Structure formats: structure tokens, C-alpha cells
A and B are shown apart, each in its own frame.
Chain A
Amino acid sequence: MMRRIDTDVLVIGSGFGGSPAALRLARAGLRVVLVEKGPRINPYRDFRQTQDPQYLLKYIRGMAGNNLNLTYAEALGGGSGFYEMVSLRAPRKAFVQRDQASRRLWPEGVDRDRLDPFYDVGERKLNVEQIDPALVPKSGLVFASMMKNLGYSCERARYAVRGCLGSGFCVTGCIYGAKQSLLLNYIPQAESAGATVETDLEALYVKPLSRLLPDRSGALPTTPVRYEVVCRSTEDGAQKTVFRTKLLILASGTVGTAKLLLQSRRFFRHLSRQTGRNIAFNGAVKVAGLLPDGFPEGDMFTGRSHPGMISYEFLESRGVTISAAKPMPLQVLASVRLRLDGDGPRPLHWGRDHVELMKQYRRRMMVLVAFGMTPPGGEIRHLHGDSFSLDLDVDDSLRTYYEETKELLNGILSRNGCRLVYAEFVDHEGRPYDDIHFSTSHQVGSCRMADDARRGTCNADGEIFGNPGLYITDGSAIPTSLAVNTSLTILANAERIVSNIVRRYCEDRAITRSAA
């Protein structure tokens, strides 16, 4: 069974990259269809406060690779339903990162100053505010006091939230509608503006139509239909939908957009060879320790999921930010073996000793995490069919970064009198990794913006080189690690790209749906 739908704009992906595109272009009067692979979510009905893997795995996906694991969401609203709602602007330092040939990684004209007006837009939309001191969770305050003891600075972080109750279940979905996921703003507003949202629909491949005609006048009514996208229902794989669209916006995330383009490569002879490469991953380094006697208690299970505080003390000198973390039991047990440093290895990751350690987890354990401006070194490769690989080459400089950052974090713990906890990260079967292994949900850059096709997939306007009307607005376009959570920068960059699309196609003429 086949459906055929013609539209002005097709947006693939409904996260921080796709939702702004759907909203702005629908408001500009264009016919917009937003396609999401995952299911539709009603936050008040579908989210649960649970540790049940079956629930989480309905929405959360993982791509496991050599030295690198990526976590992302497949659901309406993308990762916004499950993020910690930390919403920070990327530091200026992030925009001046350079490659090994000393060329700036961000394209000409895109930097913090250029993004700041669009950060403003996103912050207003998501109600981003600095946390009130009275709402900082205990673990965040304990972390802050540790930094204070050492003479280091620390900031109250910023969140997309209205009326937080501190239930502690941000990462399983906020059932109160306090966390400002895209389900509460961009997406319903896009639908109100006329956008059609189709969920449970997976884009299989993208194909340019016979000739990629350039825009004639810059206005959409005279713009030819240029792309065809074949989708299949994730509920009934036999059901296919073929979209034909004038403008195509790819926003299925660093993993999804790369996979879609790589699977479509046979139709895009000039697609940059950089596509799928250059994945930046915010180099997360994590350590843990037990608080010494006399220190106030933390609490892993109450207060918002992110502990409220972040330190930029080492941003300039080492390119890292540091915060505490509050992993829930499932997050800990599924990823790491914990034992007290100095104890023997067996059988302390289970049994009586492990229970004694876990009993201290909630109130006496402090977990620190650093995000860093690690170079964009991950790569997704298309193997065959819909099979892909993920690799990260851990070279000496990355190894040095990891070790030095770990030493920095452990130093913060030990200089505060903490007993270090040895954390052995494990794979999907619970087996320890042989080597350094990075896990992140902050992946960006697989289809990055660049000044030319030799260095990236799309230009500074998000348009894929050589393919007029084909845009990327998601994290895959962000060229570097940011050392902070990536959501707000993805959103701001999407708003920037879409504002240019609106200017290019819509502002010269009063385009209405009927005219289009």
C-alpha cells in the first residue's frame, strides 16, 4: 500500500532541529509536513516515573561502537522529552576550535555573536531560567561546596522549566509538564499554524528528482518540487508513504540524519565524503567518590535530574566544564561496575561488598562529570542494507585528555577528603570495556556545516552542498563539541537556518497556503 503526498516543506525529525523548522515555516504560510520515526507522546498520559527498561526502550535508542556509544531518542519531540532540561549557551571558546591543519571548524560567519539572538528566541520559547538557589538539589549544593573549598568558581545552571517540583524523574519524562519539552511549545504551535505531524514513520531514503532545478525567483510558488522521500510505517512496515517536496529539511539527529544520507548516497553523487564522519561527543569523563564524614549528604534520587550547578573554572585552561551528576539506579547499574578504590577486583562488583557500597549510593556518593571540547573523531559508516558501524579512534591526545581530566576530577574529590570509587564501565552484556570508552547523548557533527564540501556536508546556511533546497538543521550540522549540553545550541542554530530560509523563500511575497 502506498500513499503519495506533495508538500512545500518536509521536515524529517521532530527534535530541537526539526520542530523550530516546522513551526517557523508553517507560520510563514508554507505547507509543512513533519515526519517523526518514533511515536506521538502525550506527556501527561504517556510519561512514567519508572525504572522499567521496557518503558524507556520504547523511546530511547543506543548505537554501540568501538570506543564510543551514542544515546538518542526516537519519539515526538526527539530527546526533549528525556533530557535533563539543562539549557546553556555554548562558550565562545567552542566556536574557535580548529582542526589539525589549524582551520577553524565552524564555517565563516557562525559564532556565538551570530547565534546569540537565536539563543534569545529559544530561551524565551522554552522559558529558560537560571535555577533559584533554593531549588538547587542537595547533590548540587554539596558539589558547589566542594568547589568552594578548593577556591574554584561554580555557577547556578539554566533550565527549560516552569514550576519544577523536583520529582527527580526528568530523564524518564516529566509527567507534570514542568519540563519544557518541545511537546509543550514548538510542536503544538506548529500544528496550530497548519503543520501536519506524522509519527511512526521512518524515512528510508531521499532522492533528488530528475533535475535539481535552482530557485527561479527565490519565492516558493515558483520553486520546483525537487526531492522525493520514501518512508515506511514503523507500525506496519509494508505501508509506504512517498513525499514529494520543494524544500526538504533533515533533522533526525546526528545518528539519524547521517544514516539517511549515507543510505541515500547512491542518489547524491556529490554528497560530501565527510558525511558520517567528524562526530563530536563532548568527551564526557566521569568519576565517583564517597563523601567523608562531616560533609552534608547529597541525594541522588530527589530534586531535578541535573544537580543545578556547573563550574567553568577549567573552561579556559583545559576546555572542560564540570558538574555533578545524579544517575538513577538503572543508569548506574546498566553502565558501570562500582567498587571502592584499593579493594580487590573480585567479587566486589556484586555480592555483599557491592551491596554495602550501593547502600551509600543515594546520600554519600558524589559523581562528577566533565564535558570537554574533544575533537570530532567519531564516524558512522554504512556497511550494507541498513547496517551501520560506529568507530572512534582513541589516539594519544584523546587518551591524554581522558587521563588528565580524570585526574582533575579525582583531585577535586580526594582534596575534599572523598574516598575514590573505582568505576569500570561495561558493555551491553555487563562486561568491562578493554579500553577508554566514551558514552554520550551530546553527539553532533556527522553532517557538519563547513565552508566547502571537502570539509563538511552543508554550508553555513545548513544547505547541503550542490543540493538546493535540501537543508540540515539538527545536531549533525554542529561542527564541534561544546563542553556543555547541546540542546540549546542545536535549537538556536536551527532557528538561525530557518530564519534564512524564511527570508529566502517567503519574505519577498505574501505566500499563503492557497497560493503555494
Chain B
Amino acid sequence: MSEPFVSIEVGEARAQQMTRREVLEVLAAVGLGLFGVSACTPARILLRDYPAEFDTEPLRVDRTLRAFVTAVVPGMDPSEANLVRAFYDSYFPLEPHRNFLAAELSRYARERYGRDRFDLLPYEHRVRVIQDGLDEGGIIARIFGGAVFLTQIACYSGIYDDEQGCSLVDFEGRYRVRPISETSYDHPERFLPTATTVDGNPA
């Protein structure tokens, strides 16, 4: 396997076939885990403690999350179909906390700028609000940090569109046949220093 630059700390995907223990083990190992946070009672209470309208007004949640994503990865098209899909994807553990995150963004926006509508704040103010959540510590910081983490993975990697990838970083998604001249350079010998082996194997 590739030596991870990182490892994608990974686990299993056959969630529907897995026991709860296995799912937790996977979440712990996968990189996208976050999610022991909801296991303890205080956390559970906190994560359900937000205004009811965030459960009843999905458009409000959606526009708040879109504003969040375009603050974390500015340059992403706010109307892009898959922009906030990761927050609605039950594969990722933030899905149950989506409404809570939107509510917290609104709360911090109100506290710092006197406006409920996080999505109407200018970029710099949204950055400040997100930073407030990251600085909060405890479960709030883990939710905000996990949301930043998931957003970056989803956007830059183009996880929902193999054809498109992420144009922001010139990642084209799946391979398109291209001539070798595009993957290497002419006259490669000019780049190569002295070799010390006959065949590439170390002595």
C-alpha cells in the first residue's frame, strides 16, 4: 500500500452489516470519527439543546452550512449541489449534529455581531465566528473542528463527484487519458543525478 502522508485513518464501510462495536471501532479509526462526543449523557443533552426551528426549518440549516463551508474553503461555489452533502450523509458521524452546528453558528454570530443570520455575515466575520467555536474547547470545539476537517476533505477531494474532482485545486477527479508528455518531461536524463546501483535495488 501507499505509505500514508498521512494515513487516511480508516475503517469499514459495510455499516449496515456491522455490529455497533464494529461501527464504533471504525469511527475511532477512520479519520472522520468525532463521535464519541455524543456517547456520554452531558454531551447528549448539550447536543440536543438548541432552538427548535433548526429542526423544523431545513432551509435555514442549509444556508447556514453553505456559509460555513464557503468560509472554510472560500472559492467554492455556494450553489454547488454537493457543497454541504457531507453534513447530510449518514456515513459521516457529523450528520446527527448538523442542526446543532447550524444553531451554534447562529448563536455565536448573535453574541459577537448581534445578528442571528450567520449566512449574511461577511467572510471575515464568519471566520471570526468559526474561530470562536474552535476556541470554545470541549465538545463545541470538537464539533467545530470536526466540521472544518470534514469540509476540507469533502471539498478538496471531491468525494461526491469522481468526474469533477475539485477545480479549486486543479484536481480533475478520475484519470483522463493523456500523453506521456503531460505526466513526465522530455529528456528526463537532464534531471537525473548519478546512480549508485545497477538496477535500482539498494546494495
* Smallest Cβ-Cβ distance to A171: which chain B residue: B2
A311: shortest Cβ distance to chain B, in Å? 8
Q: A80-107: which residues lie under 8 A (CB-CB) from chain B?
A: 82-84, 88-92
CA–CA, A79 to B4, complex, Å? 13
A124: shortest Cβ distance to chain B, in Å? 14
Q: A424-461: which residues lie under 8 A (CB-CB) from chain B?
A: 425-431, 439-442
B81: shortest Cβ distance to chain A, in Å? 16
> Which residue from A170, A346, A358 sits with its C-beta under 8 Å from B169?
A358
Residues on the A chain within 8 Å of B34, using CB: 429
B152, A137: Cβ atoms under 8 Å?
no
CA–CA, A62 to B12, complex, Å? 9
Q: Does A286 lie at the interface of the complex (its beta carbon under 8 Å from any beta carbon of B)?
A: yes
B13, A302: Cβ atoms under 8 Å?
no
Given A88-B200, A330-B157: A62 touches B146 (CB 8 Å cut-off)? no
A369, B3: Cβ atoms under 8 Å?
yes
How does the 8 Å CB contact mask read for A269-308 relative to B, with 1 for contact and 0 for none?
A: 0000000000000101010000000001001011101100
B192, A334: Cβ atoms under 8 Å?
no
Q: A295-337: which residues lie under 8 A (CB-CB) from chain B?
A: 296, 299, 301-303, 305-306, 309-310, 312-313, 315, 321, 325, 327-336
A351, B185: Cβ atoms under 8 Å?
no
A441, B7: Cβ atoms under 8 Å?
yes
A307: shortest Cβ distance to chain B, in Å? 10
A37: shortest Cβ distance to chain B, in Å? 11
CA–CA, A151 to B148, complex, Å? 42
A396: shortest Cβ distance to chain B, in Å? 25
Q: B150-167: which residues lie under 8 A (CB-CB) from chain A?
A: 150-153, 156-160, 162, 165-166
A113: shortest Cβ distance to chain B, in Å? 12
> Which residue from B19, B31, B162, B200 sits with its C-beta under 8 Å from A158?
B200
CA–CA, A282 to B3, complex, Å? 10
CA–CA, A361 to B5, complex, Å? 14
A62, B182: Cβ atoms under 8 Å?
no
B130: shortest Cβ distance to chain A, in Å? 7
Residues on the B chain within 8 Å of A151, using CB: 193
How does the 8 Å CB contact mask read for A160-198 relative to B, with 1 for contact and 0 for none?
A: 000001111111000000000000000000000000000
CA–CA, A244 to B199, complex, Å? 45
B5, A133: Cβ atoms under 8 Å?
no
Q: B83-130: which residues lie under 8 A (CB-CB) from chain A?
A: 91, 123, 127, 130
Residues on the A chain within 8 Å of B91, using CB: 53-54
> Which residue from B3, B8, B134 sits with its C-beta under 8 Å from A485?
B3
A138, B183: Cβ atoms under 8 Å?
yes
Residues on the A chain within 8 Å of B5, using CB: 286, 325, 327, 331-332, 335-336, 367, 369
> What are 21 A-B pairs at a CB distance below 8 A?
A54-B13, A57-B30, A62-B30, A63-B29, A89-B201, A89-B202, A131-B200, A138-B183, A141-B188, A158-B199, A302-B178, A335-B4, A335-B5, A335-B6, A350-B72, A355-B73, A359-B169, A361-B169, A428-B29, A428-B30, A440-B3
User: Apart from A56-B8, A71-B10, A335-B31, what 18 extra A-B contacts exist at CB < 8 Å?
Assistant: A51-B162, A57-B13, A61-B12, A62-B31, A71-B4, A88-B202, A137-B184, A142-B191, A144-B191, A154-B195, A170-B2, A235-B17, A282-B3, A301-B171, A333-B153, A355-B74, A358-B156, A441-B2
Hey, which bits of chain A sit against chain B, CB under 8 A? 48-58, 60-64, 69-74, 79, 82-84, 88-92, 130-131, 133-138, 141-142, 144-145, 147-148, 151-158, 165-171, 234-235, 237, 282, 284, 286, 296, 299, 301-303, 305-306, 309-310, 312-313, 315, 321, 325, 327-336, 346-347, 349-352, 354-355, 358-359, 361-363, 367, 369, 371, 386, 425-431, 439-442, 483-485
